[in-house]
A and B are shown apart, each in its own frame.
Chain A
Amino acid sequence: MTTEPLLKIEDLKVHFPMKRRSLFGGERRWVKALDGVSFELAAGETLGIVGESGCGKSTLCRAVLRLVEPTGGRTVWLGKDFSELSGEDLRLERRNMQIIFQDPLASLDPRMTVRQIIERPLLNFPNKENAEERRRQVGDLMELVGLNKAWMDRYPHEFSGGQCQRIGIARALILKPKLLVCDEPVSALDVSVQAQIINLLMKLQKQLGLSYLFISHNLSVVRHISHRVMVLYLGKVMEIAERDDFYRRPLHPYSQALISAVPLPDPKLERTKPRMRLQGDLPSPLNPPSGCPFRTRCPRATEICAAEMPLLRDFGSGHVAACHHIEM
């Protein structure tokens, strides 16, 4: 890409300290929730982030927005070092990046009306809008996300899950952000409602030129919505690729296993498709394997995998993967 990326993450680390065993007892231990993650996000682009529970997806969301402070690495936002900002500068810059959450009802204050919820972010900034103007903006946004603006004085419990997610999206958009971090935004929704929210997010991206970090454990949803896909495992990047390239030719054994594990809604295919089954569960992040974190479940693991963490290598057109055993 020739233009400056909207967001550039370099070697981002989030290490959480563990309790010491005793007052003087030994070295402090750390949980490395994110361990050296780097990627770029262009304006108007959707990066899908996939991985199983404990892989660091949600920590990544929060670390990008600095809702948890990274322990290392750099975030470059529109060419500026976002990780150095503090106080008022941080607050003002952060209005350009917003987040929507998995549980739509739990992320709305039950005692506020929909109007109060959606306009609340405006009140955080020195604004020129008076109450009348805010009300108009809330109404416009509600229509944009497919809600009837006559409902603005109702409370969240009067809405369904899908509608609550629309309210959450409207709240995130009122500050006209450039980046929307979506942390499993459709996982709690029924299948028939999920498609409505996916369509809405894609429409909004086109209309407003938004960039999405789209986190999901659902690889089918990620295939539909993303331009590029990143696979995380125990806090490390396993693979990043253009969407079509990733699903047609996943390189990393973990990506291959993930894709193979998803049951398809087609019994004939399900009975004939080749299977790749991983053994065991995700290792404890407290005590990760040496070398490649995936080696304990990897069908291709050899000695070198235990000795060295493989570096991300480029296999052409920006398709990178971290594995010792991929042929160039």
Chain B
Amino acid sequence: MASTKLAERPAAGVRPSGTILEIKDLTVEFRTDSGKVAAVNGVSFDLKAGEIVGIVGESGSGKSQILMSLMGLLAKNGSASGSVKLRGQEILGMKDDELDKLRGASMSMIFQDPMTSLNPFLRVSTQLTEVLVKHRGMGKGEAMKRSIEMLDAVSIPDAAKRIRLYPHEFSGGMRQRVMISMALLCQPSILFADEPTTALDVTVQAQILDLMKDLAADLGTSVVLVTHDLGVVASLCDRVIVLYGGRIMESGPAETLFADPKHPYTRGLLASTPRLDEQTHGELHTIPGQPPAVATAALGCPFEPRCEFREARCKTVRPIIQDNGERTVACHVVSL
């Protein structure tokens, strides 16, 4: 079973490098009673084939809304602008029936709470085979066979029997495995994962993270993982994007970014997290204040009110994004 190996896992090998998803200046706005609120503000990044990218941020940073807009799942009062190209094809603003051809087949999504994302009234078999019948035009029998194989691949024991069960008959970890198998049925090129392990216990989280890593490597699936947990990002992702107030503060390869964080927000986050592997004494570092409830349309840097290194211009002038080809950082005070 892939998820229960008692072995060290070597660093991910050389991955294919073609860009599969190109996001340029993505902005997500919501119309509310008190006017327009921008949850995501000019976010740009690329996703390469086979790459696992982690988006880290606190509540209200806009991290989930990025995924929702990519999947065309924004709430009714929300709208996205900018450009999102899947293999060169613009998908932002696509009609639902066109998107339906891509969702599930080319890109799919898993959510934080597997119980509320599965239909409680339908057997797992019905929910899984539906995907294949709809997207692949398979017959019932063939779809059933493929679904059982997929449940097997996500290490659900006794898959042929358990496919007949209803979602509530599975434990939380097993339900998340069902969700993952459903998302991967058509071998999509991109998997979006919104806090996939946050509702799980640590020992089960470790199993699911191993599983996602194995499947991504085996199937060559690219993954965009959204989380607030720096540890999850460090263990799974090749590249990290740090989001605050709907904007990218910093991005880069996981190893260099964690070893040498540049942006004051990233540094503050890492310093305020107690470590399991070393004893911290006395007061933890803190970032004063709290994250903005909704991204504010600040002129300058959204982190300015909480930043200990802020200067006068941080309030009024938006920092340009410094980019050395490998890493980016948006800050007046630090340089790459």
Binding site for B on A (CB under 8 A): 52-53, 160-163, 190-196, 198-199, 202, 217, 219-221, 223-225, 244, 247, 257-279, 281-282, 297, 299
Contact = CB atoms under 8 A, between A and B. Distances in A.
Given A247-B276, A274-B8, A192 B290 contact: yes
B174, B268, B274, B276, most chain A CB atoms within 10 A: B276
A52 B255 contact: no
Contact of A265 (B174, B231, B293): B231
- What are the 3 closest A-B residue pairs judged by CB atoms, nearest first? A263-B231, A195-B272, A224-B274
A224 B201 contact: no
Q: Is the interface of A mostly helix, strand, loop or mixed?
A: helix
Interface stretch (B116-124, B125-133, B279-287): B279-287
A220 B8 CA distance: 22
A276 B4 CA distance: 8
B207, B283, B284, B285, most chain A CB atoms within 10 A: B284
B206 interface: yes
Contacts of B236: 263
A191, A262, A271, most chain B CB atoms within 10 A: A191
Given A191-B272, A278-B203, A281-B172, 4 more contacts: A192-B286, A223-B275, A264-B276, A267-B258
Interface of B: 1, 3-11, 58-59, 171-174, 201-207, 209-210, 228-237, 254-255, 258-259, 268-270, 272-277, 279-280, 283-288, 290-291, 293, 306
B272 A265 contact: no
Contacts of B58: 190-192
Contact of A268 (B174, B207, B259, B293): B259
Given A265-B230, A277-B206, A202 B8 contact: no
7 contacts: A163-B290, A199-B283, A223-B274, A266-B234, A267-B254, A277-B5, A281-B171
A192 B269 contact: yes
Nearest to B233: A265
Contacts of B231: 262-265, 270
Contacts of A260: 206
Given A191-B58, A277-B4, A220 B273 contact: yes
A190 B290 contact: yes
B196 to A, nearest CB: 13
A194, A219, A279, most chain B CB atoms within 10 A: A279
A144 B207 CA distance: 43
B206 A264 contact: no
Contacts of A269: 277
A82 B288 CA distance: 41
B1, B236, B258, most chain A CB atoms within 10 A: B258
A267 B234 contact: yes
Contact of B6 (A190, A244, A275): A275
Nearest to B292: A160
B270 to A, nearest CB: 6
B59 A52 contact: no
A277 B258 contact: no
Contacts of A196: 286, 288
Given A263-B232, A275-B9, A277-B3, A220 B291 contact: no
Nearest to A159: B290
Contacts of B173: 281
B240 to A, nearest CB: 9
Contacts of A161: 290
B7 A275 contact: yes
B6 A162 contact: no
Contacts of A267: 234-235, 237, 254-255, 258
B58, B174, B235, most chain A CB atoms within 10 A: B235
Contact of A262 (B4, B5, B276, B288): B276
A221 B274 contact: yes
A53 B201 contact: yes
A199 B282 CA distance: 8
Contact of B203 (A52, A190, A247): A52
B279 A263 contact: no
Contacts of B283: 199, 202
B28 to A, nearest CB: 20
B274 A265 contact: no
A268 B202 contact: no
B203 A191 contact: no
Contact of A220 (B172, B207, B235, B276): B276
A134 to B, nearest CB: 29
